[in-house]
RNA sequence: UCUUCCUUAGCUCAGUUGGUUAGAGCACCUGACUGUUAAUCAGGGUGUCCUAGGUUCAAGUCCUAGAGGAAGAGCCA
């Protein structure tokens, strides 16, 4: 058996392959079967002159997603995706596929999510899953080459470490247990044993939020390093993101093309240093008090708004022109083509109108931002709009950060945390910082957050026995995938999304 | 939890001020065509108009409630 991606090594030879029929075009005496095997796509030509009547009839009877075994000759053809096609000599059906529900045309979101188990077979999903796989591979490569030890943190946890409202409760031998929201505290313990570690596991949050950036179950990478301060932490984050982006850029060119992803931003990321803003600076940028490249957020967003409105108008004009063309009478193929263009433009207009409505709201909420609070989704969008690479925001007011975040000795109201905001409107992909090593301050914080002290005795032990400065961060895998693929919604980044209101399939 | 929008054929959608027999494209089937790239061309039938009430001579269309979905907000160390 030869996989489609390996056809190029078999030019002129007769080989065997197997896969699924993803599309078919037929003529008299000719069947063009587009075969998919997970490694790639190849057109297979069944010519009635070259095969028996029975085989030709079998080929003709295949439908979308019929699985088949094929023997044929690999022939170079520059018109084909991948550059090769197969001239079929033998064909047999492995499994039939009567009326596959997902056609090669357009579908709505609800339908596709309901059919997720079949949707995964489509080309776009194939590309996303390949990229997800590469990102995971690349993350592991990076940390392994940097001498980090991969560790698995527990998924059942016995305490409500982060506040009970967003925890999934389960029954653990008649006692309540919660699904993990973070492996970090365990990672800290392991870092004291191994030096540098990273966890890579599932995370569960029972937030009742339905947005394009939230999942109830997602995967997180959490490195933790002994003897690191927040500066070193930020250096590592930048190095890490640059490594993964460059690796994906290098190895997922075909997949990015399927998605229509403009990859020029990846070159910027390799070439530029990530801006590092203190929280105070970030607020000044947000409010338009500090310019970036000679522009304020207000100027940039008002410019965006004008552009958005202009695009809406030009789209509307284009629709009218195309509708006139159809009304004047054109052939069917041309009509379909024009109609599809019109539908696409209409969808674009809907999105743009939402954007046009949102921009003034974003600006207002940026103007009204209260120093000392956390950034909302729109604030992140406004800040990152000013840059073409990820932005790091550090030195946060300690009140809005987690109890374990290290306080700044020289500025007692600040904590040494860092958030990384991805550009292109994707917002927070990394949250991290230096950890508090002072046991008394930690106890004070645990009380302040009204957390159960007895749940943290083991964690406090880490400060009792040879405590050292240490830092770490967490990266949400799905948000990284969404950003690198430039997806509208996070639900496409994971094979079977678990979100508020969605447990099936 | 709040705001706005949506629910019509297997899928994507159109359906005018309420009006008599509810439409198109795709998918599917049949036929034509020996190089198609979402092939093309001709023909073929398919409806719990989300559910329950209401207004009306008449409801896919208007009103009320509910269910499901989408976008945004809140929430998201």
Q: What mean pLDDT do residues A392-407 have? A: 90
* A433: nearest nucleotide, CA–C1' criterion: B77
Whether residue A297 sits in one domain with residue A211:
no
Q: Does A54 share its domain with A123?
A: no
| Segment A391-414 mean pLDDT | 90
Nucleotide at minimal C1' distance from the A344 CA: B12
pLDDT score recorded for residue A464: 93
User: pLDDT averaged over chain A?
Assistant: 87
Whether A109 and A230 map to the same domain: the answer is yes
Q: CA A400, C1' B75: Å apart?
A: 14
Which nucleotide has its C1' atom closest to residue A27's CA?
B33
Q: Which A residues between 125 and 164 have a beta carbon under 7 A from any strand B atom?
A: 162
For residues A247-254, average pLDDT:
93
CA of A83 to C1' of B36 (A): 16
Residue A33 belongs to domain with CATH number: 2.40.50.140
- Cα four-point dihedral sign A495, A381, A267, A271: negative
Q: What is the mean pLDDT of residues A414-440?
A: 91
Q: pTM, whole model, 2 decimals?
A: 0.91
Banded pLDDT at A365 (limits 50, 70, 90): confident
Query: What domain range includes position A20?
Result: 4-95
Specify if A246 maps to a domain.
yes
Stated in angstroms, how far is A314 CA from B9 C1'? 34
The answer to whether residues A150 and A217 belong to one domain is yes
Lowest-pLDDT range of A31-45, A69-83, A155-169, A267-281: A155-169
A72 and A141 belong to one structural domain: no
Residues A361 and A476: their CA atoms lie apart, in Å, by: 27
Look at chain A and report how many structural domains it folds into: 3
Q: Which nucleotide has the least CA–C1' distance to A373? A: B77
Kindly indicate the confidence band of residue A328, based on its pLDDT and cuts at 50, 70 and 90. low
Of the given ranges (A329-333, A471-475, A480-484), which has the lowest mean pLDDT? A329-333
| Phi, psi at A370, each rounded to 5° | -95, 120
Q: Is residue A440 part of a domain?
A: no
Contact status, residue A433 vs residue A230, Cβ threshold 8 Å? yes
Q: Are residues A63 and A150 in the same domain?
A: no
Gap from A23 CA to B34 C1', in Å? 19
In a domain, A413, yes or no: no
**Within this chain, do residues A299 and A229 fall inside the same structural domain, yes or no?**
no
Going by pLDDT thresholds of 50, 70 and 90, the confidence category of residue A505 is confident
| Residue A207 contacts strand B, CB under 7 A | yes
Write down which residue in A350, A366, A382 finishes a domain.
A366
Neighbour-count burial for A6-40, b at 16+ CB within 10 Å, e otherwise: ebeeeeeeebebbbbbbebeeeeeebebbbbbebb
* Residue A324 confidence class, pLDDT cut points 50, 70, 90: low
Mean pLDDT, residues A172-184 taken together: 88
A236 and A259 in a common domain: yes
The answer to whether residue A164 scores a pLDDT higher than 60 is no
Domain assignment present for residue A424? The answer is: no
| Per-residue CA distances from A192 to A17, A76, A213, A344, A464 (Å) | 52, 58, 33, 55, 12
Residue A417 placed within a domain: no
Q: Could you tell me the pLDDT band of residue A242, with boundaries at 50, 70 and 90?
A: very high
Average pLDDT over residues A150-156: 93
- Domain harbouring A240, CATH code: 3.30.930.10
Cβ of A62 near strand B (under 7 Å)? The reply is no
A135 in a structural domain: yes
Q: Which residues contact A164 (CB under 8 A, 6 or more apart)?
A: none
Residue A436 DSSP class: P
Q: Nearest residue (Cα to C1') for B40? A: A333
- For the stretch A370-381, pLDDT in tens is 888 888 888 898
* Predicted local distance difference test score (pLDDT) of residue A48: 87
Instruction: Pick the range with the lowest mean pLDDT from A6-20, A243-257, A260-274, A446-460.
Output: A446-460
Query: What is the C-alpha to C-alpha distance for residues A429 and A421, in angstroms, rounded to an integer?
Result: 6
pLDDT score at A455:
83
Å between CA of A111 and C1' of B51 = 20
Protein A157 CA to nucleic acid B28 C1', in Å? 52
Residue A423 lies in a domain: no
If pLDDT is split at 50, 70 and 90, which confidence band does A68 have? very high
Nucleotides of B under 7 A from a protein CB: 1, 10-13, 25-29, 32-42, 68-77
A206 touches strand B (CB under 7 A): no
pLDDT at A162: 57
Q: Which residues of A in 421-480 have their CB below 7 Å from strand B's atoms?
A: 431, 474
HSE at residue A312, side-chain half, CA atoms within 13 A, is 15
Domain shared by A136 and A239, yes or no:
yes
Q: What is the pLDDT of residues A192-206, one digit of tens each?
A: 999 999 999 999 888
φ, ψ (nearest 5 deg) of residue A424: 65, 25
Protein-to-nucleotide distance from the CA of A427 to the C1' of B5, whole angstroms: 26
Query: Among the three residues A332, A366, A400, which one is the final residue of a domain in this structure?
Result: A366
Place of tokens 């301060």: A229
- Write down the pLDDT at residue A160: 61
A30 is near strand B: CB distance < 7 Å: yes
Evaluate whether residue A416 is within a structural domain: no
**Are residues A51 and A123 both part of a single domain?**
no
| DSSP class of A273 | P
pLDDT for A70-114, tens place per residue? 999 999 988 887 789 999 999 999 988 877 888 777 777 888 888
Residues pairing with A175 in the sheet: A172
Domain termination residue (choose one: A47, A75, A95): A95
Is 70 exceeded by the pLDDT of residue A309? yes
Q: Are residues A264 and A192 in the same domain?
A: yes
Residues 299-328 of A with CB under 7 A from strand B: none
Examine the domain organization and report whether A305 and A200 are in the same domain. no
Reported ipTM: 0.81
Express each pLDDT in A126-149 by its tens digit. Answer: 999 999 999 999 999 999 999 999
> In the structure, what pLDDT confidence band is assigned to residue A327 with cuts at 50, 70 and 90?
low
Q: Is A53 exposed, middle or buried (0-12, 13-18, 19+ CB in 10 A)?
A: exposed
The model's pLDDT over A253-301, given as tens digits with 9 standing for 90+, comes to 989 988 888 899 999 999 999 999 999 999 999 988 888 888 888 888 8
Under the banding of pLDDT at 50, 70 and 90, the label for residue A333 is low
Per-residue pLDDT, averaged over A304-330, amounts to 73
**A170-176: average pLDDT:** 87
Q: What is the pLDDT of residue A326?
A: 62
């Amino acid at each position: 058996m030869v996989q489609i991606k390996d056809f190029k090594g078999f030019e002129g030879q007769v080989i065997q392959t197997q896969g699924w029929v993803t599309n078919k075009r037929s003529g008299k005496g000719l069947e063009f079967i587009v075969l998919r095997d997970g490694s790639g796509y190849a057109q297979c030509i069944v010519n009635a002159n070259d095969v028996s009547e029975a085989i030709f009839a079998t080929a003709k009877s295949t439908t979308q997603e019929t699985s088949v075994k094929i023997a044929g000759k690999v022939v170079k053809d520059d018109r084909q995706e991948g550059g090769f096609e197969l001239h079929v000599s033998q064909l047999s059906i492995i499994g039939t596929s009567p009326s596959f529900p997902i056609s090669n045309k357009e579908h709505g979101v609800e339908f596709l999510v309901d059919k997720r188990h079949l949707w995964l077979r489509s080309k776009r999903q194939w590309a996303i899953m390949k990229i997800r796989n590469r990102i995971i591979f690349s993350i592991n490569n990076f940390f392994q080459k940097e001498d980090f030890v991969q560790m698995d943190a527990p998924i059942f946890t016995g305490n409500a470490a982060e506040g009970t409202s967003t925890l999934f409760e389960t029954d653990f031998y008649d006692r309540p247990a919660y699904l993990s929201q973070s492996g970090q505290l365990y990672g800290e313990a392991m870092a004291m044993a191994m030096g540098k570690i990273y966890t890579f596991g599932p995370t569960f949050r029972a937030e009742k939020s339905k947005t394009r950036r939230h999942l109830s179950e997602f995967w997180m990478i959490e490195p933790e390093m002994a003897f690191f301060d927040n500066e070193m932490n930020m250096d590592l984050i930048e190095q890490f993101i640059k490594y993964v982006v460059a690796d994906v850029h290098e190895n997922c060119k075909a997949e990015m093309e399927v998605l229509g992803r403009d990859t020029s931003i990846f070159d910027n990321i390799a070439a530029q240093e990530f801006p590092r803003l203190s929280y105070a600076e970030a607020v000044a940028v947000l409010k338009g008090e500090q310019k970036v490249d000679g522009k304020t957020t207000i100027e940039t967003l008002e410019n965006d708004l004008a552009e958005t409105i202009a695009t809406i108008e030009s789209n509307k004009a284009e629709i009218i022109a195309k509708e006139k063309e159809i009304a004047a009478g054109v052939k069917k193929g041309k009509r379909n083509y024009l109609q599809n263009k019109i539908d696409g433009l209409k969808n674009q207009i809907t999105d743009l109108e939402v954007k046009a409505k949102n921009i003034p709201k974003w600006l207002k909420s940026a103007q009204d931002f209260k120093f000392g609070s956390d950034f909302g989704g729109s604030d992140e969008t406004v800040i990152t709009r000013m840059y073409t690479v990820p932005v790091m925001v550090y030195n946060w007011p300690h009140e809005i950060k987690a109890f374990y975040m290290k306080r700044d000795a020289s500025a007692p109201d600040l904590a040494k945390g860092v958030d990384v905001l991805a550009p292109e409107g994707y917002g927070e992909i990394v949250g991290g910082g230096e950890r508090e090593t002072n046991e008394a301050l930690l106890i004070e914080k645990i009380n302040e957050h009204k957390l159960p002290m007895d749940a943290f005795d083991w964690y406090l032990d880490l400060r009792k026995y040879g405590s050292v400065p240490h830092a770490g961060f967490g990266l949400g895998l799905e948000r990284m995938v969404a950003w690198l693929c430039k997806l509208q919604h996070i639900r496409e980044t994971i094979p079977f999304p678990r979100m508020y209101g969605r447990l099936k399939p």
